[in-house]
Structure 1
């Protein structure tokens, strides 16, 4: 097996001007069209201080309505909903992850299979992957109530039934074990790790975001108990936060090196990238990529690694 490493000079792909060129949302939101497609969005749409139509992004109900409208208008997904308090993901950023993963895999070469670790109650990555690229997807989660909600979304969209399957992780100490089955192969795994170490940290982080939103609008709001975009336990926080979760994810990925071509994960905190890449290299990955995504003023990264030089022919064990 090749010992080529790219960790020291990681390939960084970025669209400096913002969202990925193929992202349907790179020109912003057409609110009149969205309201026409999804009327429940209408009460949340108002003219902002700049004279443009917008919503209050600090209001989780407004964000949820916008998501439902975007998914219906652009991706043909009807009746998308999440339980109160569940993570409500911004669609443009989630679509970017799927577009960059598609570039990593190459376009149209063969049928692609994707595993989503911690799909949550929203199921957003498989939903987008199924609709944008027609991939076959499996979503896993430890929370059965979250999976039940995603199952209802799939049931409301029959065309997803044969493309999007769900699996329960019964052991909180495992990630891939108990999910990837014997003889099974995935082209890619995706993951949006919980990045806080506790509920208190999650609340503080959300409060900072909401206070920034309020300051930008010249407003004063009590945001002390609000979670921006929602988020349940295991969606936003875990013991050790993002760094420890990534460590577990990377270590366990080596156990399933021959059953997944590319392992990937979002990395929210830049200081977690270097130790993660160091561990990946130590475990014998033959290719490591750092893919930068820019969304407004926010920069996030996809970390991708593989233990397989040639997924069709190279089945030698990874270097220990």
Structure 2
């Protein structure tokens, strides 16, 4: 997660945690390890991490899922990267703006309400809406939100199993920034048992989840397919719809569904924490495109399931960066759209309403945009020196980052135009 420090990049030091938290010290084994087959020990690890690292208090029933804090934080960090690199108000870089208000919807928040708790603690300007269908989990979720003084930042709604997954109107929300969910993995109790029997080694931690948290008709892919269907009428009311998947094979099924429904902007990520690996998929009906490292960050996912790369090296030339920058500035300024160039930093951001650079566009009368035209294609251009190799002349490269739009052919055409303009002088 490049945009924010992941405090759990290294394994948790249990000895250190025990020295800081007496309740955790009481459950630590003599060899300095946690008994992950014991539900109380697993719960205490989660409670102690939340207390030490986020100042949060958690109460959980013994018969509901106990969330692993590092894995949940990883999902939120990926969403942060997704939002930061696809903002409707792009700057000259993709840095995180800690003052930007953000609203997220947690579908199936569970007894812990872990995502709103973590999100509100980690991001002071984030707010959440949460749903759950299970009355028992809902009661504990409300308690956890209340006892952490987050009632003014978290809105709860108990929903029905056959009701909408994304009830924005019932929550009184017009627009939000993202949705997140950990859908049940399994299609039936038999599927759950069969999956466990196929594992080559025992699970790393005991599972206390109720059937409503583990099983849903059709499994996680059917659950996400419902979300995709509901996302269509919501459209641009939600910047990013996201879901975490527990099975690698589910990724291709979900991407196929997205393509069939006409989605042109999606992202696939991979969350790895110790032995646990999960995959995250996001899709948007808005044309703001995330960075490659966010949208194509899943190892082992088929290339056809990944979105078109949003970044390309347009050209490399043996010319000083300052001269290349002037050529880029002149070329883009002549297109007639919106263009801001920082000569000192060697970076610029621009928007055009349509293709105004190709011969075909000129024959059709393409030219300066008229007042009121939508800036349908957005881009960021970097001009920077390439690390010099021995016995080779110094080079400058021009990298084009696709910021906005649905037409990959237009993006490639723009990169080709930049290449020609830089090389022609």
Query: Over the residues paired in the alignment, what is the CA RMSD in angstroms?
Result: 2.8
Q: How many residues in Structure 1 have an aligned counterpart in Structure 2?
A: 280
Written as runs of structure 1 = structure 2, the 5 A alignment for 1:53-64 is 53-64=32-43
The whole-number CA distance in structure 2 between the counterparts of 1:242 and 1:148 is 25
Cα distance change, pair 110–172 in 1 and its aligned pair in 2 (3 A):
same
As a proportion of its length, which structure holds more strand?
2
The whole-number CA distance in structure 2 between the counterparts of 1:179 and 1:144 is 21
Higher RCO (CA-CA < 8 Å; seq separation 6+): 1
1:276 equivalenced with 2:266 (yes/no): no
1:232 equivalenced with 2:213 (yes/no): no
Written as runs of structure 1 = structure 2, the 5 A alignment for 1:83-98 is 83-98=61-76
Structure index of larger Rg: 2
How far is the alpha carbon of 1:35 from its aligned partner? 3.0
Cα distance change, pair 172–31 in 1 and its aligned pair in 2 (3 A):
same
Q: Which residue does 2:51 correspond to in 1?
A: 72
1:167 equivalenced with 2:157 (yes/no): yes
The whole-number CA distance in structure 1 between the counterparts of 2:142 and 2:37 is 28
Q: Which residue does 2:272 correspond to in 1?
A: 294
SS in 1 for 2:211: coil
User: Gapped runs of 5+ residues in structure 1?
Assistant: 1-13, 215-226
SS in 1 for 2:217: coil
User: Gapped runs of 5+ residues in structure 2?
Assistant: 85-95, 290-373, 377-405, 407-425
How far is the alpha carbon of 1:279 from its aligned partner? 1.5
Q: Under a length normalisation based on structure 2, what TM-score does the superposition of the two structures give?
A: 0.60
Q: Is the 8 A contact 2:11 2:274 kept in 1?
A: no
Q: CA deviation digits over 1:50-70, x for unaligned, max 9? A: xxx220112221110000000
Q: Is the 8 A contact 1:63 1:229 kept in 2?
A: no
Moved more, 255-264 or 114-123: 255-264
How far is the alpha carbon of 1:86 from its aligned partner? 0.2
1:267 equivalenced with 2:245 (yes/no): yes
How far is the alpha carbon of 1:42 from its aligned partner? 2.3
The whole-number CA distance in structure 1 between the counterparts of 2:81 and 2:269 is 11
1:156 equivalenced with 2:147 (yes/no): yes
Q: Which residue does 2:133 correspond to in 1?
A: 142
Cα distance change, pair 302–295 in 1 and its aligned pair in 2 (3 A):
same
